[in-house]
């Protein structure tokens, strides 16, 4: 059981880290920090950071560790992280995990738990290639499992529905390969620190959330 709420959401692409973050935020007032969302916002704004990140994201590769860790470090220092936070999609490499420890120490914080969302590659590929989202508010849908009422517009804000460029079958396969090579060692890393909580993400969203709530009650 986790008493405080400084969390890392760890897991392969498509496991549901973003979906379950959104569901948890409807119940808990904590800060959501998704490095993927930050990069997509920077790309939209055509910033220098966005232009640099796009090259990596389009190839299914990771953005360099120092860039991501610096970005997360300054975000974690902000006051809205006092109430607890979810780090969604960070860290993704062992060096990033070490950099995270250093950044947390700098701002006087620590991790309470790492939630590992487990799912098999076949499930992940099916989810990723069917994922669509809203251009305006970012809400995530799935053409098979959680479709918007109207295939072309967002249920919440009427924004245009689109598919992420890195959700093509080939790039999704590349991202899974990168996950297995570079990110999956973090499971053992956090297990050794007694911070890892394993959740089966291949069940209904409501059941995944219920399992998570049991862990962080």
Q: Which is nearer to ligand AP5, 3 or 52 (CB)?
A: 52
Rounded to a whole number of angstroms, the minimum distance from the CB of residue 19 to Mg ion is 8
Does residue 39 interact with ligand AP5 by CB under 6 A? yes
∠ CA 155-160-164, rounded to 5°: 105
H or E stretch including 210?
helix 205-215
Residue 33 within binding range of ligand AP5, rule CB under 6 A: no
Query: SS3 sequence, 113-131?
Result: EEEEEECCHHHHHHHHHCE
How does DSSP assign 157-209, residue by residue? T-PBEE--GGGSHHHHHHHHHHIIIIITHHHHHHHHTT-EEEEE-SS-HHHHH
Distance, CA of 177 to CA of 180 (rounded, Å): 5
Residue 170 binds which entry of ligand AP5, Mg ion, none, with Cβ cut-offs from 5 to 8 Å by kind? none
The per-residue b/e assignment along 125-144, b for 16 or more CB within 10 angstroms, e otherwise, is bebbbbbbbbeeebbebbee
Under the criterion CB under 6 A, does residue 54 sit at the interface with ligand AP5? no
- Could you confirm whether 109 is annotated as catalytic? no
In the list 7, 43, 63, 97, the residue contacting ligand AP5 (rule: CB under 6 A) is 63
148 binds ligand AP5 (CB under 6 A): no
Residue 208 is a binding residue for ligand AP5 (CB under 6 A): yes
Binding flag, residue 92, ligand AP5 (CB under 6 A): yes
**Candidate segments 43-51, 76-84, 86-94, 149-157, binder of ligand AP5 by CB under 6 A:** 86-94
Instruction: State yes or no: residue 189 binds ligand AP5 (CB under 6 A).
Output: no
H/E stretch holding 66 reads helix 65-76
Given the residues 164, 173, 191, 205, the one annotated as active site: 164
d(CA 170, CA 14): 14
Residue from 17, 40, 54, 75 carrying the catalytic annotation: 17
Distance of closest approach, residue 12 Cβ to Mg ion, in angstroms: 11
Report the SS3 class of residue 87: strand
Q: Closest by alpha carbon to 196, among 186, 208, 183?
A: 186
Identify residues 4-33 at the interface with Mg ion (CB under 5 A): 18
Choose the contact partner of 139 out of Mg ion, ligand AP5, none; CB within 5 to 8 A by kind.
none
| Residues of the shown chain interacting with ligand AP5 in the complex, contacts defined by CB under 6 A | 11, 13-19, 35-36, 39, 56-57, 60-63, 68, 89-90, 92, 96, 127-128, 131, 140-142, 145-146, 166, 175, 201, 204-205, 208
- Annotated catalytic sites, by residue? 17, 92, 131, 164, 175
């Amino acid at each position: 059981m986790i008493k405080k709420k400084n969390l890392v959401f760890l897991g392969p692409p498509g496991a549901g880290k973003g979906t379950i973050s959104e569901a948890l935020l409807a119940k808990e007032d904590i800060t959501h920090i998704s490095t993927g969302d930050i990069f997509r916002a920077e790309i939209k704004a055509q910033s220098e950071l966005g232009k640099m990140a796009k090259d990596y994201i389009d190839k299914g590769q990771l953005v360099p560790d120092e860039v991501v860790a610096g970005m997360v470090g300054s975000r974690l220092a902000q006051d809205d992280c006092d109430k607890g936070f979810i780090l969604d999609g960070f860290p993704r490499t062992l060096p990033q995990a070490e950099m995270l420890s250093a950044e947390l120490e700098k701002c006087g914080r620590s991790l309470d738990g790492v939630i590992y969302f487990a799912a098999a590659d076949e499930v992940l590929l099916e989810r990723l290639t069917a994922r669509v989202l809203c251009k305006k508010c970012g809400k995530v849908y799935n053409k098979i499992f959680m479709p918007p009422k109207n295939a072309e517009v967002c249920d919440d804000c009427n924004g245009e529905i689109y598919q992420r460029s890195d959700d093509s079958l080939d790039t999704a396969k590349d991202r899974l390969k990168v996950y297995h090579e570079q990110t999956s060692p973090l499971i053992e890393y956090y297990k050794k620190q007694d911070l890892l909580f394993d959740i089966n993400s291949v069940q209904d969203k409501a059941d995944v959330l219920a399992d998570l709530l049991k862990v962080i009650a």
